[in-house]
Structure 1
């Protein structure tokens, strides 16, 4: 199998599993075996190297400390390197690696650098090549790993996952779930390890590390997200509800278009989870009922490289016969550089034969974080996710898979915690932020408490969301 994912709970014996496999494979293929483990930094590989010494040296291997390489007893090689980005992957392209191991794959926000290593995975001597990724739930890469290997629900045993490549061929991947109970050596030698995992963080992280739960997202930027609350089954949208669209432009990177509707009244809809009964979409809530994500199939964060006119065609075709009140678009798409802007080109496009006209947009409010007292875009989005009285003010149709796949997984920026990690797949989040900023909403303030503490009283109209002296 050319690709294996081996992961789940912490302490599941992943390191010993890979090193033991390599020892057996090197014994069979000898000098033609050439394996390398990669991590974000070689300094974080110390434990794996020490464990490799315990396994390989008694077998007759010699370790070169300066090159971090084992010369194995039958002439094969096992080395330890770093893979921080695409440039590091490109530096491996001249090599002939039969085996690659990506340790802690969840540290990579995108799989781009990892996938480039397939170019160095080859053998002219008939050695079956293989890439192994090991990871625990959590980290910047949880979203793409969960999606790529179909880890929700976490499988009870090994399974095969297929990926159709651009040429139509099928790439098969083996998924081997690991659990703490699989590592009898650790359990017997350190019986309190599972108890100590209870001290590592919040309930979501503990659940993920103990049980290999890939549905929990520790450290998520939008920790208010709850799929059970925010995702709804598609329903018939009343014709008088206001519809609009938001968009984040991209060419080499994905673009994202979202279509939204504002609930005109409290509306009862069927439950998505199969439980009998209904739930209520509150008046004023934003509902994402359609999306178009311009990403190459099977390639996270890679754009389709469509022209502005092609995108305009796609938007107009999708919303034909709908009344779209307005559209908001990434301000960068309005830049003119010796010619019409992206926004102008989309609006000028038309197809009279099909009766279609290009979509019109206005510049979106691009404030990400609060400035000078004004609400930032992430706060506006968070307000709607929280809602009030246990009822969110933002919902997503279950058919909007790219919102559900990417937005809940985004982590905080480590250097600017009030913003999200812009190295992640954040295009849908940006586009949704534009939509929320075009329809700002704040929860009702308790009238009595507000009047007592500030001397303010609610304005007429009953909304409770505007205040006057």
Structure 2
């Protein structure tokens, strides 16, 4: 069958690639939904008997985007849509329209097999939703298998998409990764001349958006995204190479502890209240004795002013009458309680992320992070605004909260800056040849 559609070179690459996982994403208006629908049709026609699944987070989203797009594109002569089952029938092939609104919804696909799964707006799905569905790409049919996604920056799956596709290497190149090959195709507004021709005022209207949202949606910049809480975070500004920390800087440790994750950070503060996060422990499934031992071993005999922890670690357990803090103390680790005021803590962290003039006039944020603290660098910019309370951060995906929560406890603990070492009188004295006469009063 001859399909007469105009597509761009990047859309052609999306259709032709052999990569197992593909993300075509970035700027709004890049023609992503169109090419996802067209590629599904071409695949169904080419590989008769194939099974595909197109997913959105809710079925209402499907009805507003992908269903009308496929209705417009798919010729009635070869394709028929079952509105009750939400399945396109194209010869012997099928294209199913589905949704995953909650984590539990993945179970409806537990026994399913698909040749291609397509995520329309991949960033709306959590990492666990995405990775579970990859396991549904299987079967005995001799067809090429793919997970093909489109997305804009932002939402709960932003960090997963960024780490899975953007951070692995150069775009437009297939990268071999654990579990298969991956390809990222950046979408720009300029890549869709058809939209610019039909709606020339589209770009001008986008300028009404807040700056960070405009940058994310216009430029497809994955360091900015819709809903991002810490828009102050800039990798080039806040992430630094490790350096030797002066011995007289005050040192603190802030921890977020639970069986699901121990996140601990060592932070040094200079005399001007500039802080640097210099060490990270990020490990799940540690019971209290193991967690205490891990922290003490990681400390490397650093002189710690305070070990900050949230007040819930002082709640006494019914079965023992002891708190987590009590149990840590039994292993020689004495915690300092912080109030755990969420919004106040986040605002103080925002303040520390803002660049301010250093003593020499150089703009520098009050908090920087060694590039060895990989999980904090990954999760801090991934936090989103809480939909019900925009002043707070979202608590989902929960995996993103551990590191930032620990840094919030550091801010909440009101750490003191270091004191410059006192200079002894004899340090001022030298020989007469070097200093001249020294007068005493």
TM-score by length of 1: 0.77
Partner of 1:103: 120
1:13 Cα offset (Å): 1.8
Post-superposition CA distance 1:274-298 (Å, at most 9, x none): xxxxxxxxx122221111222xxxx
Alignment of 1:281-320 (within 5 A): 283-294=272-283, 304-320=284-300
Partner of 2:349: 381
> Mind listing any 5+ residue stretches in structure 2 that lack a counterpart?
1-18, 358-362, 418-441
1:214 Cα offset (Å): 1.0
Q: Contact between 1:93 and 1:120, CA under 8 Å: does it hold in 2?
A: yes
1:408 Cα offset (Å): 2.1
Structure 1 residues 334 and 203, CA gap change in structure 2 (3 angstroms): same
1:405 Cα offset (Å): 1.7
For residue 258 of structure 2, give the secondary structure of its aligned residue in structure 1: coil
> Mind listing any 5+ residue stretches in structure 1 that lack a counterpart?
165-169, 265-282, 295-303, 350-357, 370-375, 443-469
Alignment of 1:47-446 (within 5 A): 47-72=65-90, 74-108=91-125, 110-151=126-167, 155=170, 157-164=171-178, 170-199=179-208, 201-252=209-260, 254-264=261-271, 283-294=272-283, 304-335=284-315, 336-339=317-320, 340-349=322-331, 358-369=332-343, 376-386=344-354, 388-389=356-357, 391-424=364-397, 425-439=400-414
1:262 Cα offset (Å): 1.5
Structure 1 residues 211 and 417, CA gap change in structure 2 (3 angstroms): closer
1:433 Cα offset (Å): 0.7
Post-superposition CA distance 1:375-415 (Å, at most 9, x none): x2222222323365554322222322222221123111011
Partners of 1:126 and 1:82 in 2: CA distance = 26
Partners of 2:153 and 2:285 in 1: CA distance = 32
For residue 35 of structure 1, give the secondary structure of its aligned residue in structure 2: strand
For residue 290 of structure 1, give the secondary structure of its aligned residue in structure 2: strand
Post-superposition CA distance 1:39-59 (Å, at most 9, x none): 111111222111112222345
For residue 420 of structure 1, give the secondary structure of its aligned residue in structure 2: coil
Partners of 1:22 and 1:387 in 2: CA distance = 48
Q: Contact between 1:245 and 1:258, CA under 8 Å: does it hold in 2?
A: yes
Structure 1 residues 59 and 208, CA gap change in structure 2 (3 angstroms): farther
Partners of 1:116 and 1:192 in 2: CA distance = 40
Structure 1 residues 158 and 229, CA gap change in structure 2 (3 angstroms): closer
Q: Contact between 1:217 and 1:408, CA under 8 Å: does it hold in 2?
A: no
1:78 Cα offset (Å): 0.9
Higher alpha-carbon deviation: 433-442 or 228-237 = 433-442
Partner of 1:37: 54
Structure 1 residues 362 and 440, CA gap change in structure 2 (3 angstroms): closer
For residue 22 of structure 2, give the secondary structure of its aligned residue in structure 1: strand
How many residue pairs get aligned? The number is 389
1:119 Cα offset (Å): 2.9
Alignment of 1:438-457 (within 5 A): 438-439=413-414
Q: Contact between 1:150 and 1:161, CA under 8 Å: does it hold in 2?
A: no
Partners of 1:7 and 1:386 in 2: CA distance = 29
Partners of 2:296 and 2:229 in 1: CA distance = 33
Post-superposition CA distance 1:112-164 (Å, at most 9, x none): 112111232221223333212210123333223212212599x5x51233443
Partners of 1:62 and 1:385 in 2: CA distance = 55
